[in-house]
Amino acid sequence: MKFVDEASISVIAGNGGRGCVSFRREKFIPRGGPDGGDGGDGGSVWFVASRGLNTLADFRFNRRFAAENGESGMGSQCTGRGGSSLYIPVPAGTRIIEADTGELLGDLTAEGQQLMVAAGGKGGRGNQHFKSSVNRAPRQSGPGTPGERRTLRLELTLLADVGLLGKPNAGKSTLLRAVSAARPRVADYPFTTLHPGLGVVSVGPLRSFVMADIPGLIEGAAEGAGLGTRFLRHLGRTRLLVHLVDAAPFDGSDPAHDARAVVAELESFSPALAARERWLVLNKTDLLDEAGIAAVEQAVCAVLGQTERVYRISALTGAGTVRLAADLMTRLEQMAAEVADPEISSSSLPSS
């Protein structure tokens, strides 16, 4: 199924049913009082987060969703049946935004979480409610109120613990294949990855985390060049970023310049995201000797001002990937513990 992370739809809640005009008519009671029942309430429109979905592709062609109208009231003070509410399943991680105002209505992140986006109309009152001392036989009833109508924009943000960041062909998809069961497309040309991907990295019994791979960033991405910024928001929910740098670019470019360009685009897109904890990983070190790797590491660290959490790996051969995954798991567990107990310090980080 094609990965779709944005959709525009319209939702229409059900209208309330009309109240009934009716009078009691029974044997020996030819002129009974008013007994018109109320109309039923219209159904509402709800979104429900589902872990079984991972794309908004279902909204590409079906863009209009309507709940059921309430039925009109009936005689003998019978209230009309309420309209059934409509529950629309969406992937966990979906943000619902009012298209006209840009207002964020809700952010569904947990399985089963629900959000009402359009309230159903109220049923109209029957003529029994209009009886008074001066109007013993009212012939008016209340119309049902219309249900809410909204145009919505849906944005899916992948839920992952670790996000991979880097230029095209830095080896992000290869790393994801090396440490998880995910099988993203891998090739030796830029933008092989066209859509974000997820992989579950398991480092032991009951110890695993989710890693996200997004299309690579190029210079000028913040102004619309390339594919990266369209998917950068998928890193917004990650707790930790891994900046993958190609230590031996096939086009002869400077790894330090490439690394700085990626960080610059990240800072331009979101200063908050750029301030998130970020590890530096030098990939394709199998193509260089020790002196070459040391030179690249020194140059990249000097440009980025990063001296800690630097790793050397080869995603293709798997060298260094097991240790990287284990350290990422340890750090994620520590971050979870810090949330539960803020007094826990970061001094227990594994050394790189």
| pLDDT (tens digit per residue) in 69-97 | 999 999 888 999 999 999 999 988 888 99
- The mean-pLDDT minimum among 229-243, 251-265, 320-334 falls in 229-243
Q: Is 58 left (phi over 0), alpha (psi -120 to 50) or beta?
A: alpha
For the segment 2-6, the average pLDDT, to the nearest whole number, is 66
Reduced to 3 states (helix: H, G, I; strand: E, B; else coil), residue 199 is: strand
**CA trace torsion 115, 116, 118, 119 (10° rounding):** -170
pLDDT computed for residue 239 by the predictor: 87
Average per-residue pLDDT in the chain?
A: 83
Residue 219 has pLDDT above 70, yes or no: no
Residue 222 pLDDT exceeds 80: no
Question: According to the per-residue pLDDT averaged within each range, which of 69-78, 171-180, 187-196, 212-221 is highest?
Answer: 69-78
Q: Hey, what amino acid is at 268?
A: S
The CATH H-level (homologous superfamily) assignment of domain 1-156 is GTP1/OBG domain (2.70.210.12)
Check whether 325 has a pLDDT greater than 80. Answer: yes
> Is 0.75 surpassed by the pTM of this model?
no
Residue identified by tokens 């750090």 is 331
CB 119 within 8 A of CB 44: yes
pLDDT score of 120: 94
Residues 6+ apart with CB under 8 A from 252: none
What mean pLDDT do residues 7-32 have? Answer: 88
Which fold is adopted by the domain 162-340? Rossmann fold (3.40.50)
The more confidently predicted of residues 260 and 308 is 260
Nearest 5°: phi and psi at 104?
A: -80, 115
Is 70 or 222 the better-scoring residue by pLDDT?
A: 70
Outline where DSSP puts E strands in 214-264. Answer: 240-246
User: Does residue 149 have a pLDDT over 50?
Assistant: yes
1-156 and 162-340: same fold? Answer: no
Mean pLDDT of 23-39: 85
Where is mean pLDDT largest: 39-43, 90-94, 139-143, 303-307? 39-43
Distance from the Cα of residue 338 to its chain's centroid = 25
Bridge partner residues of 208 (DSSP): 202
**pLDDT score for 184:** 53
The phi and psi torsions of 287 (rounded to 5 degrees) equal -90, 0
Share of the chain above pLDDT 70, in %: 87
Reported as a pLDDT band with limits 50, 70 and 90, residue 344 is: low
Cα(168)–Cα(34) distance, rounded to whole angstroms? 75
The residues spanned by each domain of the chain are 1-156, 162-340
